[in-house]
Amino acid sequence: MEQITESRARLAGAHLEEHRRMERDLHDGAQQRLLAIALQLRSARVNGGDTVLRAEVDQAITDLALTVQELRDLASGLQPAALAGGGLRAATDELASRIPVRMKLDVVDRRFPASVESAAWFVIAEAVSNVVKHACVDEVAIRVSAGPSEVHVAVLDAGVGGVDPQGRGLQGLADRIAALGGALSAGDQPGGGTRVEAVLPCA
């Protein structure tokens, strides 16, 4: 009887943890992007002339396409199928095929624990989304490397800079990374542009 009780407790704990993970994934990804699109369109309606409105609507269409794809990914397992099947290398290759900027990829072809891959993926997805929306560049660099006990993730662009590390999207990611014993940093690069970097333990 005691074993059954313990088993039920483990199942309940696993269910609660999965529910919390779903909430984090939705909050850090699609929800933040939809809120940003709403603010973007509201600003365009108030401040923009015809040319500005057209540009903002075009950008909103691009952002919505990314969000729809992300929601499909979430519905199929809370992360891209490519990530579950092939790891970060496959997932970033797939991402590069559907965003409107070039991605310069240097991603190690190695599998990591699912929690590490998921956290690294959300860092990449959030940072790339910010590049598409704000950086005014046509290329972004993604680097993922691994040592014996750590995974290093970096997203770099040469855009306008001005990243806010305390923004809700990045702060949510920082909390996610910290929960795994890692660290997230974001800021302007000395020569211009933005860097978002994460270090995750993988041993």
pLDDT higher than threshold 70 for residue 6: no
Q: Mean pLDDT of all residues in the chain?
A: 77
Q: Residue 39 CB: number of other CB atoms within 10 A? A: 10
Residue that is written with structure tokens 């979430």 in the block: 74
Domain boundaries, the chain: 2-201
pLDDT higher than threshold 90 for residue 59: no
CA dist 31 and 157 (Å) reads 24
Contact between 87 and 79 under an 8 Å Cβ cutoff? The reply is no
**Percent of the chain residues topping a pLDDT of 70:** 70
The confidence score (pLDDT) of residue 146 equals 95
- With residues binned 3-state (H G I as helix, E B as strand, rest as coil), the percentages for the chain, rounded to 5, are 60, 20, 20
In this structure, whether the domain defined by 2-201 belongs to CATH 3.30.565.10 is answered with yes
Contact between 159 and 169 under an 8 Å Cβ cutoff? The reply is no
* Mean pLDDT along residues 88-97: 90
Q: Rounded to 5 degrees, what are φ and ψ at 151? A: -110, 130
Would you place residue 74 in the very low, low, confident or very high pLDDT band (cuts 50, 70, 90)?
low
How far is CA 14 from each of CA 21, 29, 177, rounded to the nearest angstrom? 10, 22, 20
pTM for this prediction: 0.64
Q: Rounded to 5 degrees, what are φ and ψ at 19? A: -60, -45
* Mean pLDDT along residues 25-54: 69
SS3 93: helix
Contacts of 52 (CB under 8 A, 6+ apart): 44
